[in-house]
Amino acid sequence: MTEQLRLMAVHAHPDDESSKGAATMAKYVSEEVDVVVVTCTGGERGDILNPRLQGDPEILEHIHEVRKREMDQAREILGVKQEWLGYVDSGLPEGDPLPPLPQGCFGLADVDEAAGRLVRLIRSFRPQVVTTYDENGGYPHPDHIMTHKITMVAFEHATDTEKYPEAEFGPAWQPQKLYYNQGFNRARTVALHEALLARGLESPYAEWLERWKESNRPERTLTTHVPCAEYFEIRDKALLAHATQIDPDGGWFRVPLDLQKEVWPTEEYELARSLVDTSLPEDDLFAGIRDNA
C-alpha cells in the first residue's frame, strides 16, 4: 500500500459513535487505519438517561461541557480522532401534534451550508470510506435524518469546486464508498433474543421485536458484516464514558459478552454508494479499495 486508509464516521450526537460501529472503528484503529468521528451537534438537548445522574443541578446547568468531556473520554478509548460540526441539538420532539423544532437547531439547518462544513472536513481528512445513517436516520430523530441528508450531499459534491470552491473548502476529494450503519438490525436482534431464551436468561429484546412487528418496518439490506468481536469490550467502555446517556444497569449491558461474541460477532452496514468494484456480501469496509490504495 502506498497510501494510508482513512475512515470517516458521521454521527448526530456525542454517544452515537459509541453505540453504532464503535467496535468496527476500534478494529480499524488497531490495523493502523486513520479514523475520524464527525459529531454534528453537542447533544445539548439530550435527556439524562442514567438514573444515577438525573436531577444533578451541576450537570443540568453545564450539560454542553459535560457531554463534550464524555466525548473526549470516548474518543480516547476508541483511539479515534474527532471533529465537531458545530450545530445545536434539536431535541426529540414528542406529542401529538409534534411541536415545532427550536429555532437555530441542527434539524432546521440549511442543508447545503451544513454539507459545506462536512465537505471541508472531507477535503481535509481525505477519507476513502464514509459511514452515516440511512434516510430514516436509523430512527426518526431530526438530527439523525439531517445527518443523513448532509452526508449524502457532501459525498456527492466534495469534488464540486463550483458549489464548494477550493479557496474556501480546500482541494477537491472524492470518497470511494458510503455506508449506512445497520447495527440495530432484526436478524441480530432475533439471534441474540433466541440465544438468551435458550440459555434460560431474560432477554431485553422482547418489546423491541414486538414494536418491530407492529411497525411493519421493511428490512434493510445488510451488505457488509465486519468481524470485530474482540473489540466489543472497547465498544462498551466507550459507551459507558457517556455517563449521562447510558444506564450501566440497563438493556445495553444485559447480554453477556461471551454470548454476543459467539452468536453475533460482527457489526453490520448497508453499502449505499460505491465508486469501486466490490463483491457482496463484504467483510471489510475497504473491500475494493485496499488493493488500489
Binding-site residues sit at 13, 16, 144
Helix (H, G, I), strand (E, B) or coil at 47: coil
Best CA proximity match to 84, nearest among 95, 94, 96, 75: 75
Residue 227 · residue 180 · CB < 8 Å: no
Please give the Cα distance from 48 to 239 (Å, whole number).
14
Binding-site residues for Zn(2+) sit at 13, 16, 144
Residue 181 · residue 281 · CB < 8 Å: no
Q: Where are the alpha helices (DSSP H) in the chain?
A: 16-19, 22-30, 57-61, 63-78, 111-125, 142-157, 166-169, 186-198, 206-215, 232-241, 257-263
Q: Rounded to the nearest 5 degrees, what angle is found at the Cα of 140, between the Cα atoms of 155 and 59?
A: 100
Other Cβ atoms closer than 10 A to 31: 9
Pairing of strands 129-132, 6-11: parallel
Please give the Cα distance from 257 to 46 (Å, whole number).
28
For 95: left if phi > 0, alpha if psi spans -120 to 50, otherwise beta; the answer is left
